[in-house]
Copies of this chain bind each other. A is one copy, B any other.
């Protein structure tokens, strides 16, 4: 399965029309505008207009895509059926319900946007969020796959994985440079992961966006596996502040771990 030799056709999935339907959804999700026309979608996913139309019709009938007449044309956008499924997908990961109240407390204590994330196929994916109060608000989207090497939650989770798994993930996803502070070699990152595993919190210090600092900490279940991580996002600030934040984030992560029946970071069985 994992040793499939031919990777020449990575976009060929068993069911072509289903794959294309998913392409449509992703195209609509990636669309920066507030809706796309049939032709636009057809071009985006590389099919004829009639094919795109049939796909859209099917999904409109089911509420996965919504359409609006506008003048002559028609604009398609993501339907509300997806809201339900997304909500359920998050709910099915039991962590969310338990973590959200603590996340709220973390945001109350720090006045910062806090997030809950898991590792999905090596990527860091946010599945919960509590926005900071006030008008200044970081744009943070749920469910988007983020590269783990330049994200605080990603690093917090990688720090608890066996070293060869980390290497495999980094090799598969790559470590593209996002800013001048991004760690771009496995060796450098693995070195930092050791510090993180020891200290109990991770940093993204302008490694993904200049001026943006994130502080993360892992959450452990009853098997002491790091099943999720939380983080807060803020502007770059002084080191002493950062360490104070780290302690706060770690403390809140610990409280979630305890609710899950897992150990706090200080009580972890295996040092790595």
Please give the residue numbers on chain A whose beta carbons come within 8 Å of chain B beta carbons, in ascending order. 13-15, 17-19, 21-22, 25-26, 28-29, 34-35, 54-55, 57-59, 61-64, 66, 77-92, 94, 100, 104, 118, 120-121, 125, 127, 131, 133, 141-145
B18–A84 touching, CB < 8 Å? no
* A19 nearest in chain B by CB position: B58
A86 and B19 CA atoms in complex are apart in Å by 18
Chain B min CB distance to A147 (Å)? 15
Q: How many monomers of this chain does the complex have?
A: 2
Residue of B nearest to A142 (CB): B87
A86 contacts which chain B residues (CB < 8 A)?
82-87, 89, 142-143
Can you spell out 22 A-B residue pairs with CB atoms less than 8 angstroms apart?
A15-B21, A17-B18, A18-B58, A19-B62, A21-B22, A22-B64, A26-B81, A29-B88, A35-B92, A63-B145, A78-B92, A80-B120, A80-B125, A80-B127, A82-B85, A82-B86, A82-B143, A83-B142, A85-B143, A86-B87, A86-B143, A91-B141
What 10 A-B pairs are tightest by C-beta distance, nearest first? A86-B86, A83-B143, A84-B143, A78-B89, A87-B142, A18-B21, A83-B86, A82-B85, A29-B88, A82-B86
B contact residues around A142 at 8 Å (CB): 83-84, 86-87
Q: How far is the CA of A90 from the CA of B85 in the complex (A)?
A: 12
Closest B residue by C-beta to A126: B83
Q: Which residue of B lies closest to A53 (CB)?
A: B14
**Chain B residues within an 8 Å CB radius of A141:** 84, 87-88, 91
Name the distance in Å between A257's Cβ and chain B's nearest Cβ: 19
Query: Which residue of B19, B79, B91, B144 is within 8 Å of A84 (Cβ)?
Result: B144
Contacts of A104 in B (CB 8 A): 133
* Contact residues in B for A15 (Cβ distance below 8 Å): 17, 21, 54-55, 58
User: Which residue, of A35, A64, A94, has the highest number of chain B Cβ atoms within 10 A?
Assistant: A64
Additional pairs, 11, CB under 8 Å, beyond known A15-B54, A80-B120, A84-B145: A13-B58, A18-B58, A28-B85, A29-B88, A35-B92, A63-B121, A78-B89, A79-B120, A80-B145, A85-B86, A86-B143
Check if B34 sits within 8 Å of A92, measured CB to CB: yes
The CA of A105 and the CA of B28, in the complex, are separated in Å by: 32
